Amino acid sequence: MTAILTRKDIVKGLRALPINPGDILLVHSSLKSFGRVEGGADAVIDALLETVGAEGTVMVPTITGRREHGPLSPPVLDLIHTPCWTGIIPETFRKRPEAVRSMSPTHSVAAIGARVHQLLDEHILSYTPCDEHSPYQKNAALGGKILFLGVDQKCNTTLHACEEIAAVPYHLQKEDTKCLVIDAAGKRHIVINRLHSWEGPERNFPIIEDGLIRLGILKKTQIGDAIISLLDAARTIDYVVGRLRADSSLLCQNNTF
């Protein structure tokens, strides 16, 4: 039977990767992957915040986008009340009083830490969900990392940013959508977005992993039952965008679209 993990166990494992004080982390996660965690999701969140310290920043994707969203069914995001579908850790994280959530109608991010506003404030300006104004690209621009807690590249939203940068032909809807975002004070904002297309090809994001390992961009460890992976965000984007520009179907299942 696997021992019960504590916050201290998780901190020790994260520091071994290494994750250092002052780091910026974008975290994709599965609580159940760890096995039994004393304190549950809050213990994992506390461990992440302790590891990066007061000068660091932790972000989690609090995505709400759905297949039906588009010009005829525009998304509405209430920053306080709209739950995310990215798991119990992000949903617990975004409800913390110190958390700030970005104003993207489909691909919001919640963050706690020293660089929250630098990472999140411009997301409302994004024309596409993961463009240069988004936390996904700002994470890379500021030297951040992408951390996977018991999940794999299938969850890597930054790869959608790569698809946007490389302007692959299958990724975005053809028409703009007039979206509504309600901020933490209850003010309503109209946001015009060209949303992701859910009708495009099935993705095969794990196809990039061998290349990332070979180049030393991806590091792995294990904490409890969970496989933990860490990526350098900027190097990941450079690598994947370069490959997409050579082959726009790289991330598509069966390499076709």
Question: Is there a domain that residue 28 lies in?
Answer: yes
DSSP 32-101: GGGS-BTTHHHHHHHHHHHHH-TT-EEEEE-----TT-BTTB--EEETTTPPPSS-HHHHHHHTSTT-EE
pLDDT above 90 (res 254): no
Mean pLDDT is lowest, of 50-64, 107-121, 133-147, 243-257, for: 243-257
Question: Is there a domain that residue 80 lies in?
Answer: yes
Question: Is there a domain that residue 1 lies in?
Answer: no
Question: Is there a domain that residue 34 lies in?
Answer: yes
End-to-end CA distance of the chain: 45
- Per residue in 88-147, pLDDT (tens digit) is 999 999 999 999 999 999 999 999 999 999 999 999 999 999 999 999 999 999 999 999
Cα separation, 29 vs 92, whole angstroms: 12
Backbone torsions φ then ψ of 246, nearest 5 degrees? -85, -30
| Whether 252 contacts 163, CB under 8 Å | no
Question: Is there a domain that residue 2 lies in?
Answer: no
Question: Is there a domain that residue 251 lies in?
Answer: no
Report the sign of the C-alpha dihedral through residues 34, 37, 41, 46, in that order. negative
User: Cα separations (Å) of 243 from 23, 30, 161?
Assistant: 27, 29, 14
**Directed axis angle between helix 7-15 and helix 40-52, to 10°?**
40
Cα separation, 220 vs 208, whole angstroms: 15
Give percent of the chain with pLDDT exceeding 70: 98
Total count of domains within the chain: 1
Containing structural domain, residue 204 = 7-246
- With 0.85 as the threshold, say if the pTM is over it: yes
Cα separation, 33 vs 122, whole angstroms: 33
Question: Is there a domain that residue 145 lies in?
Answer: yes
